[in-house]
Amino acid sequence: ELQDLSYGKGDQIILDFGSHRVGYLSFHLAVDGVNVDAPTRLRLTFGEIPYDVTEVLHPCNTWISTSWLPDEIINVDWLPTDVDMPRRYSFRYLKIDIIDTSPKYKVKFQDIKVRAVSAISPEVALASQKISIADKELALIDHISQVTLRNCMQTVFEDGPRRDRRLWLGDLRLQALTNYCTFKDYSLVKRCLYMFATLPREDGSLPACLFEKPKLAPASDYIVDYDALFGPTVYDYTVASGDLQTAIELWPTILSSLKIPLSHVGKDGKFDSSASEAWKFLDWSDGLDTNAGMHGLVIFACKEVNKLALLISKPQPFLDIVEKMAVAAKSFYDESQGVFVSGPDNQISWTSQAWLSLAQAVDPQTCLRALKTAMSLPKAVKPLTPYAYHHVAEALARSGGEKECVKLIREYWGGMAKAGADTFWECFDEKDSRRSPYGDCHNNSYCHAWSCTPSYLLRVVLKDYLEKS
Ligand code: RAM
């Protein structure tokens, strides 16, 4: 019907393309009237979720750039004509506000098309759909995870195709893990690893993210934990692809990428976040104390790099420090409460439990108890992003809490699915749908690759458990 409908000044339409896509929009702008005596002025707003097109985006109360907001005003001089929007958008919904035509004519929108783009072809995407899970909810979560990952896989693994459209190291690790059990695009991971390796900072550490365009360049952002995760990312890649040569070439980069993280470890063997001003991320949750979590993360990274050393016949470089930090990890454990505590206020957070468990700092039973206890405490700091929830979920499963891991997947990622997600989001708080790390949810990304890991959890980490149950 749309082909025949005419629109003039002040009219508005919202189109639903049925699913999330990343790509280029084009349409034919036809005329209904006697003369085109003035240009057509349109505002196009691309929505990943309904909020984007059902609410007014401006003003946006945010500390990051408002130029990320997905709206565009265009002026079209000569009609009828084909309109090809030159920019790439990430969307399911399109709102068109007809700002003005003229009293002499109206416009019609015909032949609307989207040319969707991804590094993953539809054939490959379809082939990896097969997951032997009868459970409909989990199968849906797996599907949404894959669409999320596919739409973020472009010329690099983007964090989100709407924002920041950039390669971040911490995001890359989780995307790559999920890619190995779905699309298996090893060369895209390899490309991204080399991009980081080619851009070390002066002290040999790696930037937290990089820009591919207009020319390859490092961002000034530096995150200690992302730096430490480069080695584990190479280890995962090596195991998945069997490509030892890349690991050998990247070995010097791996060793230098752990220098700054390890420089935070004191004589007592404890990671001290206050040892430098550098950003320790772990999650966007408010007020998170990073001492305990970073302690676990650095042990984890060193252990993974030691395993990689064995694969490529190098001496294991971090045996001593792992031993020392493993002893020191016990000092984060509070016997009386049965949890790991962090920082001067002995903060309890899910994230601290997650990373110390992934590091296998203590035995799995103790880790599982610590995780479950923290998760049941209202005062404990909860994660905000799927990035941190992933580490909690994986820590549960790796500590014998497979049942609890599945429950968490259903609640958290299933919660987004119930809220209508076509692709998983950058952050999700079931109690506050407007939550944002940036001040305004309109600047959130709703196809954010660090949320794609249920496919990895279900297909790899929980595989045996799900087959048995
Ligand atoms: C956000 C990015 C990215 C994340 C950083 C720390 O701005 O979108 O996903 O890695 O924060």
**Residue nearest ligand 1's atom 7 by CA:** 164
Tell which residue, 283, 232, 238, has the closest CA to residue 258. Answer: 232
Among left, alpha and beta (phi > 0; psi -120 to 50; other), residue 463 is alpha
> In the prediction, which pLDDT does 127 show?
76
> What count of other Cβ atoms lies within 10 Å of the Cβ of residue 190?
17
> In the prediction, which pLDDT does 22 show?
98
Binned at pLDDT 50, 70 and 90, residue 105 comes out as: very high
pLDDT higher than threshold 80 for residue 191: yes
Give the integer Cα–Cα distance in Å for 274 and 347: 15
> In the prediction, which pLDDT does 205 show?
98
Contact indicator for 228, 185 with CB cutoff of 8 Å: no
What mean pLDDT is predicted for residues 6-32? 98
Walk across the sheet containing 217-218 and list its strands. Answer: 167-168, 209-211, 217-218
Give the integer Cα–Cα distance in Å for 64 and 34: 46
Q: Is the CB of 304 under 6 A from ligand 1?
A: no
pLDDT digits (tens, 9 = 90+) for 324-350: 999 999 999 999 999 999 999 999 999
Which residues are within 8 A (CB) of 143 and not within 5 positions of it... i.e. 6 or more apart? 129
> In the prediction, which pLDDT does 124 show?
87
Q: How far is CA 297 from the centre of its chain?
A: 18
Contact indicator for 413, 398 with CB cutoff of 8 Å: no
What mean pLDDT is predicted for residues 362-384? 98
Give the integer Cα–Cα distance in Å for 355 and 342: 12
Ligand 1, atom nearest to 438 Cα: 7
> In the prediction, which pLDDT does 132 show?
74
pLDDT digits (tens, 9 = 90+) for 209-253: 999 999 999 999 999 999 999 999 999 999 999 999 999 999 999
Binned at pLDDT 50, 70 and 90, residue 410 comes out as: very high
The identity of residue 428, as a single letter, is: F
Among left, alpha and beta (phi > 0; psi -120 to 50; other), residue 10 is left
pLDDT digits (tens, 9 = 90+) for 140-178: 999 999 999 999 999 999 999 999 999 999 999 999 999
**Residue nearest ligand 1's atom 6 by CA:** 281
Which token pair is 253? Answer: 């980069």
Q: Which of 159, 233, 290 to mutate to test the pocket of ligand 1 (most atoms within 8 A of CB)?
A: 159
Q: Which of 168, 221, 226, 229 to mutate to test the pocket of ligand 1 (most atoms within 8 A of CB)?
A: 168
pLDDT higher than threshold 90 for residue 131: no
Q: What secondary structure letter does DSSP report for 277?
A: S
At residue 104, φ and ψ (nearest 5 deg) are -90, -10
Contact indicator for 299, 265 with CB cutoff of 8 Å: no
Binned at pLDDT 50, 70 and 90, residue 123 comes out as: confident
Binned at pLDDT 50, 70 and 90, residue 125 comes out as: confident
- Locate all alpha helices (DSSP H) within 113-185, ordered by sequence: 122-127, 136-152, 169-180
Q: Where are the beta strands (DSSP E) in 213-314?
A: 217-218
Query: For a pLDDT cut of 70, what percent of the chain falls above it?
Result: 100
Query: Which residue shows structure tokens 């894959």?
Result: 146
Residue 168 CA to ligand 1 center (angstroms) comes to: 7
Residue 363 CA to ligand 1 center (angstroms) comes to: 32
pLDDT digits (tens, 9 = 90+) for 254-307: 999 999 999 999 999 999 999 999 999 999 999 999 999 999 999 999 999 999
Ligand 1, atom nearest to 448 Cα: 9
> In the prediction, which pLDDT does 388 show?
98
Residue 452 CA to ligand 1 center (angstroms) comes to: 14
Size (the chain), residues? 469
Q: Is the CB of 271 under 6 A from ligand 1?
A: no
Contact indicator for 221, 206 with CB cutoff of 8 Å: no
Residue 159 CA to ligand 1 center (angstroms) comes to: 7
pLDDT digits (tens, 9 = 90+) for 428-452: 999 999 999 999 999 999 999 999 9
Q: Which of 90, 164, 450 to mutate to test the pocket of ligand 1 (most atoms within 8 A of CB)?
A: 164
- The pTM of this model reads 0.97
Binned at pLDDT 50, 70 and 90, residue 364 comes out as: very high
Which token pair is 68? Answer: 């990320």
> In the prediction, which pLDDT does 450 show?
98
Q: Is the CB of 164 under 6 A from ligand 1?
A: yes
Query: For a pLDDT cut of 90, what percent of the chain falls above it?
Result: 97
Which residues are within 8 A (CB) of 329 and not within 5 positions of it... i.e. 6 or more apart? 295, 296, 299, 356, 359, 361, 362
pLDDT digits (tens, 9 = 90+) for 64-103: 999 999 999 999 999 999 999 999 999 999 999 999 999 9
Indicate the average pLDDT of the chain.
97
**pLDDT: is 173 or 123 the higher one?**
173
Query: Which residue shows structure tokens 């952002």?
Result: 221
Residue 170 CA to ligand 1 center (angstroms) comes to: 8
Preceding omega of 437 cis (within 30 degrees of 0): no
Q: Is the CB of 222 under 6 A from ligand 1?
A: no
Give the integer Cα–Cα distance in Å for 357 and 363: 8
Binned at pLDDT 50, 70 and 90, residue 133 comes out as: confident
> In the prediction, which pLDDT does 342 show?
98
Ligand 1, atom nearest to 164 Cα: 8
